[in-house]
């Protein structure tokens, strides 16, 4: 009987692979012998993602999905190639933007709707959110929690438009942690029972090292490029104050070992010194948030080479939480530490990434570019633009061989992946240009394909 089941399962896997291949070919009209094609950007000033100023007028040739040539001289088009020409007229060509902390499945839909709706609706909302993200010039995101594998697959296959996604899949949390969205009347949980968020792949509850290890391996098997664990209290969760430390060093270490065996890394949600210190002891490579850290812990992060993925959380948008509620009070407590956190990051020259971490609010999600531009509260415009391109790309590279995309991101350089924006102006002089992408991003390219061209014909 067991052999029969295995044969049936093997046959189903083969059929699934064949069906997927057929769908890919159906979505690729040039499945036989594609003709060499490209785009030539003429007379542009290049912000390459790493330099402190724009280049002299240049021409940039994209062939296929990579930047082939950058030259101040005219570029010869390869014989037989179909190359479209884009007249830059002195505008700025820069890398596509990268958001290092997203939850694209949950960004635009209220929390109550997510917890009570059919997951099909959540997926539909996420498809729109993905397209909107790309149209804001964000060509890559690091998604740190949510059932995003299917959306990523659809984008990569060309079924829908959206950014490149570095997925974590379900975030890993403990009972009562920042990721346990079960109702109080669902606790204590019956043995073997899974909550709605677990069943749809949004979160997993793991309460010992062996279960953490198993869930980590499952997520890596499903395609996680990095793992995300909840190491401390959070704003949007109902059970845990911000000061609560979650997991133990052995439990965190179980995830780190699983990730390291796959050549990738673990990042954790944490705000407080104690939560961050035990995460570092366990071998975690990146801290997300950290608004309540102290000087000594920030210094330790610098000494250990830990990445700090900070978000510019200040009280500048309407809160989804009612005034006076526990969640709103936690939110205000967290906001109060943001200025200090950025000061510590600068003081100790910590590797600092940028992300939005927008949840449950379509209006705030639409301000993605504004949230990057407001980083000038703590950094110079060129530092901000580097952070949103090449620096964030360095963080993504920690995924190593688990990176879902082969090639260099976050830069305009020969041989790099062709994720490019043509900006109507100089964002180094006027960073607010990125806050209004609908007006100022005239061309948006991802993987060598133009998704928007608003230049006069």
CB-CB contact of 65 with 109 (8 Å): no
Looking at the chain, the whole-number percentage of residues with pLDDT higher than 70 is: 93
pLDDT at 22 over 50: yes
Q: What's the average model confidence in pLDDT over 2-12?
A: 54
How confident is the model at residue 31, as a pLDDT? Answer: 47
Q: What's the average model confidence in pLDDT over 253-270?
A: 98
Is pTM, for the whole model, over 0.85?
yes
Three-state secondary structure call for residue 421:
strand
How confident is the model at residue 13, as a pLDDT? Answer: 54
pLDDT at 16 over 70: no
Distance, CA of 353 to CA of 343 (rounded, Å): 14
Grade residue 20 by pLDDT with cuts at 50, 70 and 90.
low
pLDDT at 61 over 70: yes
Q: How many CB atoms lie within 10 A of CB 75?
A: 18
Q: Are strands 420-423 and 92-95 parallel, antiparallel or unpaired?
A: antiparallel
In terms of pLDDT, which residue wins out, 449 or 194?
A: 449
Distance, CA of 203 to CA of 207 (rounded, Å): 13
pLDDT at 17 over 70: no
Among 65-69, 319-323, 333-337, the minimum mean pLDDT is found in: 319-323
Q: What's the average model confidence in pLDDT over 321-326?
A: 90
Q: What's the average model confidence in pLDDT over 234-250?
A: 93
Q: Which residues contact 372 (CB under 8 A, 6 or more apart)?
A: 97, 354, 384, 388, 434, 435
How confident is the model at residue 29, as a pLDDT? Answer: 44
In terms of pLDDT, which residue wins out, 361 or 136?
A: 136
CB-CB contact of 388 with 54 (8 Å): no
Q: What is the DSSP string of 297-340?
A: HHHHHHHHT-EEEE----S-S--SSPTTSHHHHHHHHHHTTHHH
């Amino acid at each position: 009987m067991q052999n029969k089941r295995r044969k049936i399962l093997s046959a189903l896997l083969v059929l699934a692979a064949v069906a997927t291949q057929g769908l890919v070919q159906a979505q690729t009209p040039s499945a036989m012998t594609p003709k060499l094609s490209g785009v030539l950007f003429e007379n542009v000033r290049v912000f390459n993602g790493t330099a402190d100023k724009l280049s002299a007028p240049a021409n940039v040739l994209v062939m296929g999905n990579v930047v082939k040539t950058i030259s101040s001289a005219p570029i010869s088009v390869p014989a037989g190639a179909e190359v479209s020409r884009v007249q830059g007229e002195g505008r700025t060509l820069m890398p596509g933007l990268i958001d290092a902390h997203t939850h694209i499945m949950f960004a635009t839909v209220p929390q109550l709707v997510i917890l009570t709706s059919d997951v099909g609706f959540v997926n539909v909302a996420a498809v729109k959110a993905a397209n909107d993200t790309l149209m804001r010039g964000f060509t890559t995101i690091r998604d740190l929690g949510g059932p995003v594998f299917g959306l990523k697959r659809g984008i990569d296959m060309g079924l829908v438009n959206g950014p490149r996604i570095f997925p974590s899949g379900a975030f890993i949390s403990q009972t009562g942690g920042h990721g346990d969205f079960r109702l109080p009347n669902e606790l204590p949980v019956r043995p073997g029972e899974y909550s709605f968020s677990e069943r749809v792949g949004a979160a997993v509850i793991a309460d010992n090292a062996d279960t953490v290890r198993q869930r980590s391996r499952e997520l890596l098997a499903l395609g996680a490029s990095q793992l995300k664990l909840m190491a401390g209290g959070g704003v949007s969760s109902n059970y845990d104050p911000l000061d609560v430390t979650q997991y133990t060093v052995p439990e965190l270490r179980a995830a780190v070992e699983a990730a390291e065996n796959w050549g990738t890394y673990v990042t954790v949600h944490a705000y407080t010194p104690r939560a961050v210190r035990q995460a570092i002891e366990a071998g975690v490579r990146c801290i997300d948030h950290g608004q309540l850290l102290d000087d000594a812990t920030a210094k330790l992060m610098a000494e250990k080479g830990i990445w700090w993925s900070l978000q510019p959380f200040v009280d500048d948008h309407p809160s989804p939480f009612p005034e006076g509620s526990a969640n709103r009070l936690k939110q205000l407590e967290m906001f109060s530490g943001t200025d200090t956190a950025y000061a510590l990051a600068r003081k100790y020259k910590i590797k600092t990434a940028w992300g939005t971490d927008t949840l449950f609010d379509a209006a705030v999600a639409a301000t993605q570019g504004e949230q990057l531009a407001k980083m000038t509260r703590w950094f110079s415009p060129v530092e901000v633009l580097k952070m949103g391109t090449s620096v964030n790309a360095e963080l993504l590279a920690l995924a190593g061989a688990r990176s879902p995309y082969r090639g260099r991101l976050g830069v305009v350089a020969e041989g790099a992946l062709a994720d490019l924006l043509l900006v109507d102006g100089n964002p180094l002089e006027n960073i607010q240009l990125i806050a209004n992408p609908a007006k100022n991003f005239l061309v948006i390219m991802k993987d060598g394909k133009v998704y928007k061209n608003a230049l006069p014909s």
